[in-house]
Amino acid sequence: MFNQAIVRVGIRYGVLCGLVSFALVAILYFIGYNPFGDIGRLTYVPIPVFIFLAIRYFKQYNDTELSLGKGLRVGLSVAFYNALSAAMLVFLFIYMVGSEILLAHVAEMKALLEETREEQIEIIGEESFSNVYNALDSLTPSMQAADFFFGG
C-alpha cells in the first residue's frame, strides 16, 4: 500500500511546485497586485505541469508499467506537498511583509461583497451575508495560509 517511491517523487515535485507557486505569489505582490484575489489563480498554473513531470519521472525511473492507481497516487502526492509547502511559505510571507497585505485583501473582498450584495443576499441570505462580511475583519495569517492550502 505505502510506496516510498511515490512519496519521494511527490515530495520532490510537490515542493518544487510549491516554491514556484509561492514565487508567483511574491511576484504578484511586488508588482502591485493582490495575490490572494482573482489574479492569484495564476498560482494554480504550475500544478498540472509538475504533476505531469512527476508522473513522467515516476514512469521513466520507477515503474514503466504505470497503472491508473499509481498515477493518481503520484498526482495526489504532488498536489498535497505543493499545497503544504506553498501554504507554509505564504504564512511566512504574510508575517514578513506585514499586515498590509491582509488589509488590502480584506478591503478588496469587502468591495467585491458590496458590489454583489443583492445577489449574495438572494443566494445565501441576509444573516449569512453579514456573518461573512464581519468575518473578514478577523482574518489572520494562519487563516489565509489555510485558505491557500485548501485552494480557496
Please give the model's pTM, rounded to 2 decimal places: 0.83
- Grid cell in block for residue 70: 499509481
Q: What is the mean pLDDT of residues 11-36?
A: 94
Q: Which helix (H) or strand (E) holds 34?
A: none
Structure-derived torsion over alpha carbons of residues 125, 128, 133, 134, reported in degrees to the nearest 10: 140
**Range with top average pLDDT, 5-19, 103-117, 126-140:** 5-19
Q: Helix-strand-coil percent breakdown of the chain, rounded to 5?
A: 85, 0, 15
Residue-level pLDDT at 152: 56
Distance of CA 102 to the CA centre of its chain: 16
Quote the percentage of the chain above a pLDDT of 70.
98
Tell me the per-residue pLDDT of 71-119, one tens digit each, with 9 for 90 and over: 999 999 999 999 999 999 999 999 898 888 888 888 888 888 888 888 8
Q: In the predicted model, what is the mean pLDDT of residues 35-54?
A: 92
The span from the CA of 76 to the CA of 33, in Å, is 30
